[in-house]
A = this chain, B = another copy of it.
Amino acid sequence: ASAAGSKSTIGLIPADGIGREVIPAARDVLEAVAPNKFNFVHLDAGFEHFQKTGVALPDETVERLKGECAGALFGAVSSPSHKVAGYSSPIVALRKKMDLYANVRPVASPVGATGTPIDMLIIRENTECLYIKSERLETLPDGTKIAWADRKITETASKRIGRMAFRMALQRGAIREARRARGETVAWEGKPRVTVVHKSNVLSVSDGLFRESVLSVRNGEDKAFKDDVDLEEQLVDSMVYRMFREPHKFDVAVAPNLYGDIISDGAAALVGSLGVVASANVGDSFVLGEPVHGSAPDIAGRGIANPVAAIRSAALLLEHMGLDAEATRIHSAVDKVLSEQAAILTPDLGGKGTTRGVTDAVIKAL
């Protein structure tokens, strides 16, 4: 969608709650790291938008993302705890409509943190599993209700996400090699490793297909997938257990949609705060950056939301747009602020700082 040399257009979808605070912060960082390189277009979506207009994800938003934008950033969406007729999560819909089939979530300990360093990449399948939201409510003869939900797992989507996991594992391995060659300390010692997360001891057909598909990618396609990547399997329940007992033993984890959702929140707890964990919703031709945190109604509007997850999500977006140097500058600046300026950090990290203060510090450190 963006001609070479001209400005790239980036869609900004702040959506609800603190999304409206952290997305502007991320935009300011993007503008600072590459002045005049981006056009920003503001696009609507979210529960608040639904309350005003009856539509959670306007067609216009999807059309403009597809027609005009080189990539986008999504803020966060509020979840009504009660059922609201006609409302359905716009982020789940966006992932599906744009075929953003992988949700890529790097979870790493802050630079200089004490304890065993964690450096995981969680790759979550983003289009199927229970997230297809095919549900039915019936009434039984005795008058009580019964609900059904369909869980869908396809060979094609499972292979596609498996392939992404092995590729990313190799890429991470190469980056570690380069670091080692430069004399830097790198925590992970051995070969890159992919951990396949499933529950095929119970769901032998559906998780069985996920498992087999990921394994078949390793055995079939690219010789390096097999020769240069270790493979490990983990049932989702013990995955959560092990992540907390020995998180440093994971490199890349790949999981069906719901398990990926759960384990990435778990991993976020290990690195201090959901407020620092970024993600990229990745398709073959589009990337949507998205902080892993929610809309945080409890702190929305107070200017104290941690912008780090959104800022790092912007960096992930740049990486996927081929702007690696700019992405690295953002990550380094964030690392610097996190490790050297404890006083200005937001409350989720134990500080007394503000969204604006952290954002300005990152921009200064670029």
Contacts and interface: CB of A to CB of B under 8 A. Distances in A.
B233 A81 contact: yes
A79 interface: yes
Contacts of A319: none
A206 to B, nearest CB: 4
A332 interface: no
Interface string A234-270: 0111101111110000000000001001111110111
A147 interface: yes
A86 to B, nearest CB: 11
Interface stretch (A1-9, A58-66, A67-75, A152-160): A152-160
Contacts of A130: 151, 202-203
Interface in A269-290: 269-270, 274
Interface in A3-48: none
Interface-central residue, A211, A233, A244, by most chain B CB under 10 Å: A244
Main secondary structure of the interface of A (DSSP, over half): mixed
Interface residues of A, number: 61
Contact of A206 (B88, B131, B147, B269): B147
Given A205-B136, A209-B137, A262-B236, A151 B153 contact: no
A151 B238 CA distance: 21
A89 B238 CA distance: 17
- This chain: copies in complex: 2
A116 interface: no
Contact of A245 (B152, B202, B237, B269): B269
A27 B259 CA distance: 37
A227 B149 CA distance: 34
Nearest to A243: B269
Nearest to A142: B156
A209 B81 CA distance: 12
Given A144-B155, A144-B156, A147-B152, 8 more contacts: A92-B202, A135-B203, A147-B206, A147-B208, A148-B151, A149-B153, A236-B262, A244-B244
